[in-house]
Amino acid sequence: MIGRMLKYMRSQKNLSQNEISKIIGVARNTVSQYETETIQPTFDTIEKIANVCDYKIYFENKKTKEKFEVKNIMRKDLK
């Protein structure tokens, strides 16, 4: 599923696999493998692609509806 999400974000930004690969610093075939789910990108790579494509990643608690972004988590919050 993550591969389809990455492809969707990239296509919405009208970027080719080659263009996004240069921006995030990986080979074009690596981007292709992410999109076909042959290999799994790290969370950092997913976040880079999302940022380049003007998306943000956040988490939402199903019960409380609390939302937070990765950048808002402080190290002291993790115990």
Tokens in use for 61?
């608690």
Q: φ and ψ at 13, to 5 degrees? A: -90, 0
| 6 touches 34 (CB < 8 A) | yes
Which residues lie below 8 Å from residue 31, measured CB to CB, with a gap of 6+? Answer: 6, 10, 17, 20, 21, 24
> 3-24 pLDDT, tens per residue?
999 999 999 999 999 999 999 9
What burial class does residue 63 get, using C-beta atoms within 10 Å of its C-beta: 0-12 exposed, 13-18 middle, 19+ buried? exposed
Q: Please give the domain boundaries of the chain with CATH numbers for all domains.
A: 2-77 (1.10.260.40)
Q: What's the pTM value of the predicted model, to 2 decimals?
A: 0.82
pLDDT tier, 76 (very low <50, low <70, confident <90, very high otherwise)? very low
